[in-house]
Amino acid sequence: MRFPQKCNAAVIFTGLLSILLFFSTITTSASAAAPLKDVATTHWAYQDIQSLLGKNVLTGYSNGTFKPEQDVTRAQAAKIIALAAGIEPLNPKTASYPDVATGHWAFGYIEALKKEGVIHGKGNGLYAPDDKLTRGQMAKILTEGFDLVGHSANFFTDVTTTDWMFTYVLALRDNGITVGYPEDNTYRPNGIVTRAQMAAFANRAMEWKALQQPALPSKVIGFGDSNTSGSYLPKEFPDYPNHNWPTLAGITNAGVSGNTTAIALKRFKQDVLDQQPSTVVMMFGLNDALMRADTKQPQVSKEQFEKNISQMTTQMVAKGITVVLMTNLPVNERVYYQSQAAQNPGIEKLYASKGGLHAWQDSYNDIIRKVAEQQGVELIDNYANAVQKAGGATDTDLASSGLVDPLLGFHWTPRGHMMVAHSVNVWVPGTHTTLAQFNNKTPTSR
């Protein structure tokens, strides 16, 4: 199975894209829950609360209230996280914590979370079930309960690298589960969690988990990182939560947020080869190229990145799988620098010797182009497509194009995903657009 254009020709399109840039989201709703007297439809956490009520993760009170501002205890949090993460309660004969006896109402949930490594007590042998839960503690149990991973240097001003909860809070931020307090870019880790906040965090974690399910057997698979999974879309673009390019192109989404090629290799067999697809469309590189502030080295060197891409391509070709490699979006480096500057003032200097973040990221695209040509597989040059559509590669061009997100300058917007999906539909046999399901509504950057 071959495509009309060979790997050394960028897939550039113009006219058809304008026809397809009018669409809206398909929305789903949780099971209907009884109206709550103290949670109006205008409440900031209304949708999250209703969602968890419908899923029986949370319940209201018999008098028809929810008490959204009531503090959450550590025992209550254990039950909520266990239910949200799908961790079944246990009933061992002996208690792990002396202050949580076998007859305690939350005993089974606390024991289950301890066995799964989600909780570790207070450090003094106790669990303190009646203590109020802090936002820092919540970050830890959510991260452990849902296997979240942080992958950027996007810090809050009040959570530094020396704080015990740093990696947990970072994981929540990077996976779209929290944005903290935008007015001062803080997370407030010592603040007490309310029922409304707990509902919001738990529901967002459940939504994230739903997007990370392993790929199911499909004729065509999209394999990549967050710019494939679209895990950030529900929070950055809430009107378009499902507008990731694999879904729009009608193929299986095997993207996982934060993945470098080194991490992706660990799931490559299960999520790709074992699915026996006819075609795999693969896009990696942005996370590989990110410079680490501590080592001042990329997360994956260019040499190793080329080896990883080549290895996966070779294995797929050997199994008769048609491989389509894709380049990454052109990053808006000014937006990215600004998003990282608060906690990493030297972020711009990390890329100065590389010609800037934009040029450095595109040098990884050059490796993708090289491997496609060497191995005789197809290439969709998303970078070239986006630059042509934007009318240039400057930060100003990219910002006005609506293709690159305005928060990090590092992700496709829904419109960007549309562009990629269209390329896949045009050039990959066996795919079909789902765009006809959408009404006329143009997504805007948020």
- List pLDDT tens digits, range 146-172: 988 877 666 789 998 888 999 899 889
Distance CA 351, CA 364 (A): 14
Mean pLDDT taken over the chain: 85
Q: What is the pLDDT of residue 209?
A: 84
Q: How many alpha carbons lie under 13 Å from residue 67 in its C-beta half-sphere?
A: 10
pLDDT tens-digit profile of 257-298?
999 999 999 999 999 999 999 999 999 999 999 998 889 999
Which tokens belong to 200? Answer: 């919001």
Query: Of the CATH numbers 3.30.43.10, 3.90.1150.10, 3.40.50.2020, 3.40.50.1110, which one belongs to the domain with range 15-26+214-437?
Result: 3.40.50.1110
Long-range contacts from 393-398, C-beta under 8 angstroms, 24+ separation: 393/330, 393/358, 395/332, 395/333, 395/334, 395/335, 395/358, 398/330, 398/331, 398/332
Q: What is the pLDDT of residue 421?
A: 92
Cα torsion at 111, 113, 116, 121 (round to 10°)?
-80
DSSP string spanning 231-296?
Answer: TTHHHHSTT-TT--HHHHHTSEEEE-TT--HHHHHHHHHHHTGGG--SEEEEE--HHHHPBPTTT-
CB 149 within 8 A of CB 335: no
Which tokens belong to 13? Answer: 């399109």
Pairwise pLDDT comparison (395 vs 4), residue with the higher score: 395
Beta-bridge partner residues of 380: 326
pLDDT tens-digit profile of 41-87?
999 989 999 999 988 999 888 899 999 999 999 999 999 999 999 99
Proportion of the chain above pLDDT 70, given as a percent:
86
pLDDT band (50, 70, 90) for residue 11: very low
CB 77 within 8 A of CB 197: no
pLDDT at 24 over 80: no
CB 384 within 8 A of CB 10: yes
Does residue 378 sit in helix, strand or coil? strand
**CATH 3.40.50.1110, the chain: domain bounds:** 15-26+214-437
pLDDT band (50, 70, 90) for residue 116: very high
pLDDT tens-digit profile of 128-139?
999 999 999 999
CB 289 within 8 A of CB 262: no
Distance CA 10, CA 307 (A): 22
pLDDT tens-digit profile of 118-128?
998 888 889 99
Query: Could you tell me which of 347, 342, 346, 369 has the C-alpha nearest to residue 357?
Result: 347
Strands 252-255 and 279-283: unpaired
Which tokens belong to 96? Answer: 């792990």
- Tell me the average pLDDT across 343-368: 93
